[in-house]
A = this chain, B = another copy of it.
Amino acid sequence: MKASRMYYSQLKNYLDDLAGKKPAPGGGSAAAFSAALAVSLLSMVANFTVGKEKFKAVEAEIKKSLALSEDLRLRLLALVDEDVAGYKKVAAAYKLPKESAEDKKKRGVEIEKALKEALAAPFAVCKCCHQAIKLCPVLAEKGNVNLVSDVGVAVVLLESAFQSGLINVEINLNGIKDQGFIVEIRGALEPLQEEAQELKETVWPLVKNKMKPIA
């Protein structure tokens, strides 16, 4: 049993911090990491497709997907930490003094600023998920069929990571007073969410039809 615990101790510290009574990491960071898991699966599918005679005709296309999924993977991994950093600034702003009218005004300005900054990480998670979901149709159609179930897992996890990012964008927007900013952010995410949803519904039947045992 022990020999098989390759990843347990590597991954436990992050989960302990996520689960514990610490203000961060929280949901935004977890969303980023869940998306990173999904994108890693896309890279895996591409890695098992390129360099094989059987897939030579699609090699250039799959290589392009791989380059993008690898970029997104490292970007999402960085967002696991960036979300924590953003959240800490918000928490610090809420702790500013609120005795005098001047204090209150300054605190309000700082909170607004910190919330806008903190929103950047989950906003980026949504954007990365959207870009990653766009890679799924080609990988489901043209990638190594033995790994098509991994495309299926990826698309399901990406859609939920998008939603999770969105929840964290909204929780920040709830504290923001700048109505123009709120409209802008929601307006930017809405079409991405729709497209992500549509792509998921396109990819899913492709995956289901192609699922067969590893051989």
Contact = CB atoms under 8 A, between A and B. Distances in A.
A38 B7 CA distance: 18
Contact of A10 (B10, B90, B207): B10
Interface in A161-192: 161, 163-164, 167-168, 170-172, 174-175
Given A153-B168, A170-B211, A211-B174, A5 B37 contact: no
Interface in A17-75: 17-22, 25-31, 33-34, 36-41, 43-44, 47-48, 69-70, 73
Number of copies: 2
A14 to B, nearest CB: 5
A197 to B, nearest CB: 13
Interface of A is mostly: helix
B14 A41 contact: no
A214 B38 contact: no
Nearest to A37: B30
A13 B19 CA distance: 21
A153 B149 contact: no
Given A160-B156, A174-B211, A18 B44 contact: yes
A101 interface: no
Interface stretch (A79-87, A102-110, A132-140): A79-87
Interface string A119-146: 0000000000000000000000000000
Contacts of A207: 167
A40 B11 contact: no
A203 interface: no
Given A10-B10, A34-B34, A81-B5, A90 B174 contact: no
A69 B15 CA distance: 12
A31 to B, nearest CB: 6
A41 B18 contact: yes
B8 A80 contact: yes
